[in-house]
Structure 1
Amino acid sequence: MIMAVFIHDTNIISPLGFSTDDNFQKILSGKSAIEQVFIDDKIGSVYAGKINEDLFNNHFQTINDDFKGSRIVKLLIAALSPIVEKNPLKNDSVLILSTTKGNIAALANNDLNAAFIDQLAKNINSYFGFKTEPIVVSNACTSGVVALSLAKRFIEMEQFTNAYVVAVDELTPFVVSGFQSFQAMSNEPCKPYDADRSGVNLGEAAVAVFVSNENRTESIQILGDANINDANHISGPSRTGEGLFLSIEKALNEAQITSDQIDYISAHGTATLFNDEMEAVAFNRLNLQNVPTNSLKGYFGHTLGASGLLETVITIESLKNNVLIPSFGYQQQGTTQQINIITKKGQKTLKTALKTASGFGGSNSAMILVKNVDHVRN
């Protein structure tokens, strides 16, 4: 018998706020973090989501007023601290870190050791006093969902009692210049799935969740998950959505449900021409085209390795509150195959959600989340 795995407490540090509730309430009010942000003299300004430095420093002082570590370490500490406070570590607790670039900013100071992602994970592991070695997931923009999948599978195999999954990426000149080289950046706030979309906005965030086999009243069960790489291209998605199609199909099979039992989809939705089209194709192949769907990139920007976990947390809040969140920036259909993009906030009884993510190198992920009311597999 497969052990059930649940997501419990969550926390978000983002430009919209420094808790899950702050972020969710801002989204419900229609607030977006996307604005013009100055990067450096060479790049200039771009539309992106950037955490206010003064506000964050004031917030961090309430957690630790004398810590002198790097900014990215502070972001992770701020995200994880309230989770650890509510869920004290056990001897077999494990830290799983999701990130795309980690402390890439350290390279500007020629601090090569600090730039290694495993060193970032070790720093956080040491700060909180984990007894086990940390695990790093860096699988492009699917990293956050993959990290949750990994936590689920380790707990199912009884390798660990629980897992603390944290995700982070910063808005840095290195990251911005990389996306500019792909000509993927929008010169205005992004519009996922819209006919007038012109590219992605970037963002930054740190997110933490606590995962265990304990069945609590307010918990969300991870009912199924899958991660498929279709190896289509170094950066371009499969035109048939093959990897995403297979990921969703496998996740549905593990969850032992069918597509008509999905109440809501939190999709990847980068607002690039090919990603949004690929997702529409994959959803239609699985008869999911009528399920209410949104992208959260218009609120936060694309937070890279943090995006999958960040958007999963907002999906959990949508499930708990039975609310559909509009896909910010969407006005008219921009994909060749119809999908049901949410255009206004609304109440709907929600039990089961699908979270998807896709990334460079052909990586694709899908996760089925269900409220702890039915469908619960023991």
Structure 2
Amino acid sequence: MIEYKARAGSGGIKWDAVKELFGRDDILPMWVADMDFASPKAIEELLEKEAKIGAYGYENTPQEFYDSIALWNKERHDFTVLPEWIVPIPSVITALGVGVKLWGDGGVLLQPPVYEQFNSMIKKNRAKKVVSPLVNEDGRYKISYPLPKASVALFCSPQNPTGRVWSIEELTEFAKEAKAQNMVVVSDEIHSDIVFGKHYPLLEFYDRVVLVSAVNKTFNVAKYGGGYAIIKEKSLREQFKEYLESLHLGISPTSAKILITAYKEGAWVDELVQVLEQNIDYIEKNLTPKIKRVRPEGTYLYWLDFSVFDLSDKELREITTCEAKLGLNSGTKYGREGTKHMRLNFATSLENVKVAVRRLNSIFGEKE
């Protein structure tokens, strides 16, 4: 049973940092990518059990961690993973940074609009950014070819913020171009369980891939961090592991146990996807057509296009915040290609979705 969780006062930034981020505390927050749903009961029970131990000494990462990842990928994505390909990581963002550090000397490929931490990791590691914007074809984004020359690519699959789930044909073409350059690809696939069709891991199409993921988005446990990389090519895997070990970076025992527990909750994920699809159905049916959008193929994020309105990005943010009283992500956060767009997180109750649609329609819809 998917349970809505009122989170104001819990310490989560989505609800409790709105005054700081949006300048007012009377807004409905639909921004950062976590959910207003309780995690599976089994995770709550695990954490209660952990708290009662009373002594919190060192622990190793158990073999079950690796086996759980392999089984989950086989059952959910029909993707065969050998346990020895798996490397525990502190976070997906950490893995992005490691990829830039290790293989970014010849430039880092960025395909905006894209998750802002991609650009951040390039900038913080003082790497050369090679930009190849996605092509917007009536709101449906596609990869632009030919790929410019780069030594590593940061790839987002499913794509945040546009909600694209790349097809077999698209992944095949991308892999072909990457292979022609012998490019390493760090593929962020953290949203891969939240799709409304089928997700295909990039590693099925190309070996020089560092596939990174975690249970954080799917099971709403972002505060605990952790994750994993799947690296088939041995030389890449050894480089990646050596760099992590040089900084004593890995996964916490609690995060590993959360993953093991979460990856037994496939039925809960199936129900979650149904709930999210109901929210999508409502938005598609009821949100004014003046706000252009394409139905998300994955993630719980709507990419809303306000370009029909004669508004600057600053004006758009002010109106959605101060008049609609909604906390949305400005599209320019994901690159200048996101101008006149906003990202809306619909992983909340249907009641909250209805409020958001009503408020947007009152400002941007047909006037009576």
TM-score normalised per structure 1: 0.25
Larger radius of gyration: 2
TM-score normalised per structure 2: 0.26
Choose between structure 1 and 2: higher helix proportion: 2
